[in-house]
Amino acid sequence: MLLIHCPYCGESRSELEFRWAGEAHIARPENIAEISDEAFAEYFFIRDNTKGIAWERWRHIHGCGRFFNTIRDTVSDKFLLSYKAGLARQPVPGASEPVEGDAA
């Protein structure tokens, strides 16, 4: 069972209190009503499902209730960083090279 750091509670708590909420940094298009089918498919259906370093959303649903973002290695299950919702995609701590997708 994972131990997850909640950036709002400022401490790590049991996975039991959390709910996974999918890939992070997929912003809902401002002009969603106008976007093309392809753009909508990209936004709503297509996910990277990364093996390795993944930016994810979690919700501390049975705690402070907040959604937040993490960087997790999906192979080792190590959390590299937790940060508040609304912040830009954070770099991988300790990584010297920017990881692909950083610009998004």
Residues in touch with another protein (CB under 8 A): 1-3, 8-11, 13-14, 16-17, 19, 21, 27-28, 32-33, 35, 37, 40, 44, 57, 59, 61-67, 76-77, 85-86
Q: How far is the CB of 81 from another protein (least distance, A)?
A: 15
Q: How far is 67 from 46, CA to CA, in rounded Å?
A: 21
- Decide whether 76 or 96 has the Cβ nearer to another protein: 76
Please spell the DSSP secondary structure of 63-82, one letter per residue: TT--EEEEEEETTT--EEEE
- Which C-beta is closer to another protein: that of 98 or that of 104? 104
Structural element, H or E, at residue 86: none
User: Between residues 20 and 98, which has the closer beta carbon with respect to another protein?
Assistant: 20
> Between 30 and 97, whose beta carbon lies closer to another protein?
30
Q: Give the nearest distance from C-beta 51 to another protein in angstroms.
A: 15
- Is the CA virtual torsion 61, 17, 64, 94 positive or negative? negative
Question: Edge-to-edge, what's the strand order for the sheet holding 53-59?
Answer: 19-23, 53-59, 67-73, 79-84
